[in-house]
Amino acid sequence: MDKKFSEQGICNELISYVKSNIADRSISILKETPFNQIGLDSSSIIELVLFIERKFNVFIPEGDLVPDNLKSVEALARCTYKYI
């Protein structure tokens, strides 16, 4: 199966979205930076999941919306990549 997006590509899209729409633009965000260190709360993470579902045309099952998958861009991208 030829996947349109790579995990790194998903990371890049998520970082761009967070910088543009959620977090302060002056904050440095790496793919492994914990969301709580950049000020993302549960509402922000829900917004990010909805962005993923629209942008990548995927549905992330409720069973995958667990703390380990929602702790950083890298973790969320890895989870997202499974459904592309």
Q: What DSSP letter does each residue of 15-43 carry, written as one string?
A: HHHHHHHTS-TTS---TTSBGGGGT--HH
Copy the structure tokens of residue 14: 């998520």
Instruction: Sketch out the chain's domains with CATH numbers.
Output: 7-81 (1.10.1200.10)
Euclidean distance between CA atoms 12 and 73, whole angstroms: 9
- Whole-prediction pTM: 0.91
pLDDT in tens, 1-18: 457 889 999 999 999 999
Mean of pLDDT values over 38-64: 95
Report in angstroms the alpha-carbon separations of 28 from 4, 10, 19, 62.
27, 18, 9, 29
Mean of pLDDT values over 46-54: 96
Distance in angstroms between the alpha carbons of the first and the last residue of the chain = 10
